[in-house]
A and B are shown apart, each in its own frame.
Chain A
Amino acid sequence: MIEPPHPFSPSRSRWRRQRDRLATGLIALGGIVVVLAVLAIGVFLVVEVLPALLGGQLDTQRVFASLTPMAWGTLKAALWAMLFSVPLALGAAIHSSMFMSQRLRSRMKPTLELMEALPGVVVGFIAGLVMAPWVERHLAGTLTLLLLLPLGVLLAGGVWRRLSPAWRRWFSLSRAGLWLVPWLALLVMAAFALSPWLERLLVDGDLRVWLDREMGIDYASRNAMIVGVAMGFAVIPSIYALAEDALSGVPGGLGEGAHALGATRWQTLWKVVLPAAAPGIFAAVMIGAGRAVGETMIVLMASGNTALMSLSPFEGMRSMAAGIVVELPEAVPGSEAYVMLMLAALLLFLFTFLVNTLAEVVRSRLRRRYRWLGVAP
């Protein structure tokens, strides 16, 4: 019978050490190659664009001239999306970090994460083919909603103060995010039921005709407002998640101190928690802006793809991402259009990369600050 080699025999341990060195080397090599491949994207875009622009064969003036409306459209779409999503996302983050119970919050986060997982093409389809015609027919109702929803929520708050304590406990503020949903649905229906009457009262007839006649505003069916709402919907979850992390990461001692001195939860938030978490919230908004700038399918399907340069919410636009996806497959490599689209891609890359880096730096500083303030998150 052959003796099994002793586990610590010199030859075996040498072999193990060599194997260890070899495997580690291979992992390092593979890892470096993968990381380089991922980072190659930026290098590739620069290599495609810079020589063509500096080489002098192309009319750079024309390239920039055709890029400007697309850059404008990108920023406009992102602006309207942020106008819609930032208040909603920050409000939701504040509510769930300050008012919700731990249990409810742990259910809420995955739900909104699912919202982020909805593919852009589905949101774009609903926005472009369902919401755009609907809003065009019910423009007055949609604008009424903007007014009616906040007022309705405040009304609910006012009514709540008059309730008996038992009712108040049942419909508590910490669960308001849930029981307000049917109330809001009711408000939406009320807005659309009221709007024809309001329209007759205020603008005698059709709001769209009135806008065209009195204000000279041309209403396009697929416009910046639709894009703003649809893309805002897609951006809300990412802003929410990051802002919520920043708010609930604030060391508990700060908030508890404020509570002990008699501040309400909202005062605590406004005077203590929000200033502490401000950089994190800034980072969340930046990352949201990065997503809004790069989102392709929603803009493509809901914007009408018209290269206009205006800030009006009722007119369409064309964004860089949508332009790339429509035109690049047909552009001949090396041609003016190709270089222009590559430049657009490079701009998108640089913008999102810089914005994300900035946000990441801010967040890591914030984490250090929280640790310094005492309790680690």
Chain B
Amino acid sequence: MSAWSELASQRLPRSEGPWAWLAAGSVALSLLMLGGLLLLIAVRGLGHFWPAGVVQLELEDGRALAGRVVRELPLEQGERERLYYTANRDLDGQVWHWLAVSDIVASERPRDLLVLERRFHGEFIGRLVEVGSVDFPDPTSTATADWNALQASLAELQALRSERDRLRREQLRPLIQQLDADPRDAQARRELAAVNERVRALQHAMQGKVAILESADGRRLVQPLDEILRAWRPNAMTTGEKLTAWARGVWRFLSEGPRDGNTAGGVWPAIFGTVLMVLLMSLLVAPFGVLAAVYLNEVAHQGRLTNLVRISVRNLAGVPSIVYGVFGLGVFVYGVGGSLDEWFFSDELPSPTFGTGGLLWASLTLALLTLPVVIVATEEGLARIPVQQREGALALGATRFETLTRVILPMTVPAMLTGVILAIARAAGEVAPLMLVGVAKLAPQVPVDAEFPFLHLERKFMHLGYHIYDTAFHGNDVQAALPLVYATALLLIGVILVLNLTAIFLRHYFRTRHGYVPRQ
């Protein structure tokens, strides 16, 4: 039988076959993983701020507990166990309880259960017995105290606190600066004493009151009111109130500093550190990247050497970030920083000033890391400008420099912006090099303040990405920190996605505005 009839006897294939479906499946799987990851982070990160309901439990052995359900896991033989967050670290010594579901006899959601966020010992979950003064605590009283009384006292305390902060900010600090300048100013000295007296009186007024609290199993606790940050009764809140509380929680997360070993509070210093570092970096990377790209594309002789340099620069974008970190540590921190210390800060040695990681070195390292990104993007933009534009400008008598500054660079601005934005997006997510050149677990001082020279380039700073790593892997209570890590991750991803989308949009806009003319 000839080959032709053999072929003809086969049925022509009607479908694409199994491999085409597997290829389609891999697209679907990639999308599923991406979507699942984003959804997980978004739900967990945003859900943390929702004032979840609190349940009161009665167990088989007669114990009583109150807390929030965190998760549920299957045990052997069809049993299930639940993890409850019960707070009250000062009473129980721990905040987590694993309970077998079958041990729970009764569970209800009483409306009077109270959650307090406190400055020490974390949260409290229980009931309010009485709000009284510190001199006459009456632990025998059984009357259910008025929730409104607590709220009123807390509002009063908040007013006192903001009055104290205002006094400190507006009167105390200027007076101290005045005295620093002229220590013999008797008038200022008298005023300072008077203001100090008022602040002390306010402090004293704050310390007066206590709340008597009762945990779910009936133990009493005397809690000074000025240590209470917030109080709410989640079971009695309406959906609208919960939404308001959620929005406030998100705002506090964005605007406050971390507390309790990074397991509570917000990430404001980390946001500030990340933004400041990235800003400094883009100030460094934008001009130098554009300069190098203009040189490579417009000035240098387009020969073999330039092509080699161009390929090397492109390849440096693929070199792992950690290698840049090593370079930053060796050259900037130990090399340049060490020399600077010897020349200018020798009286402070052996404790280093610039000879250790800091804001400046971190920005420089990341600038170096993102230079290839900016150079490549700008070069692409330059290569895309139609050659007629150049020829037209030159034909009208412009010099090369004039052609460059008046015609070519303005047309390349979107490409430069794309490059810088991509560089920023990459730098905001990099953590590994920062761990070598200047990030800190907890930086008490923000690198910008009112003290000369205002911007402290040698200080260490906090960073969102490192905050995630550190809180998740080096915290004391990972379970408690997890929701905040999710929220931080969501914030970081949000910032990076917005930056990337801007870059994509700019690129698209740029492509449609000037036709694509590839380099010949």
Contact = CB atoms under 8 A, between A and B. Distances in A.
B22 A150 contact: yes
Interface stretch (B214-222, B251-259, B327-335): B327-335
A45 B326 contact: yes
Contacts of B292: 30-31, 34-35, 38
B329 A328 contact: yes
A311 to B, nearest CB: 23
A122 B320 contact: no
B24 A176 contact: yes
Contacts of B41: 122, 126
A287 B299 CA distance: 30
A7 B489 CA distance: 59
A177 B31 contact: yes
A38 B30 CA distance: 35
Interface in A319-359: 321, 324-325, 328-329, 333, 341-342, 345, 348-349, 352-353, 355-357
Interface residues of A, number: 110
A340 B330 CA distance: 14
Interface stretch (B8-16, B112-120, B275-283, B382-390): B8-16
B300 interface: yes
B231 interface: no
A223 interface: no
A325 B315 contact: no
B438 to A, nearest CB: 10
A335 B177 CA distance: 48
A45 B327 contact: yes
Given A23-B401, A37-B368, A294 B320 contact: yes
B360 interface: no
B20 interface: yes
Contact of B319 (A124, A130, A352): A352
* Interface size class of chain B, counting residues whose CB lies under 8 Å from the partner chain: 35 or more
B372 A38 contact: yes
Interface string A248-270: 00000000000000101111001
Contacts of A35: 292, 295-296, 309, 313
Contacts of A8: 397
A88 B29 contact: yes
Contacts of A28: 295, 299-300
A321 B432 contact: yes
A88 B32 CA distance: 12
A121 B326 contact: no
Interface string A140-177: 00000000011001101100110000000000010011
A88 B26 contact: yes
Contacts of A63: none
Nearest to B38: A118
A317 interface: no
Nearest to B372: A38
A262 B11 CA distance: 12
Interface string B282-320: 000000110110111011100000000101111110111
A174 to B, nearest CB: 9
Nearest to A237: B30
Nearest to A124: B469
A325 B436 contact: yes
The 10 closest A-B pairs by CB, nearest first: A31-B295, A294-B320, A119-B429, A91-B26, A177-B27, A153-B25, A157-B21, A180-B28, A176-B24, A296-B432
Given A160-B21, A360-B311, 11 more contacts: A31-B292, A41-B319, A45-B327, A89-B30, A110-B504, A114-B501, A150-B25, A153-B21, A157-B18, A266-B20, A294-B322
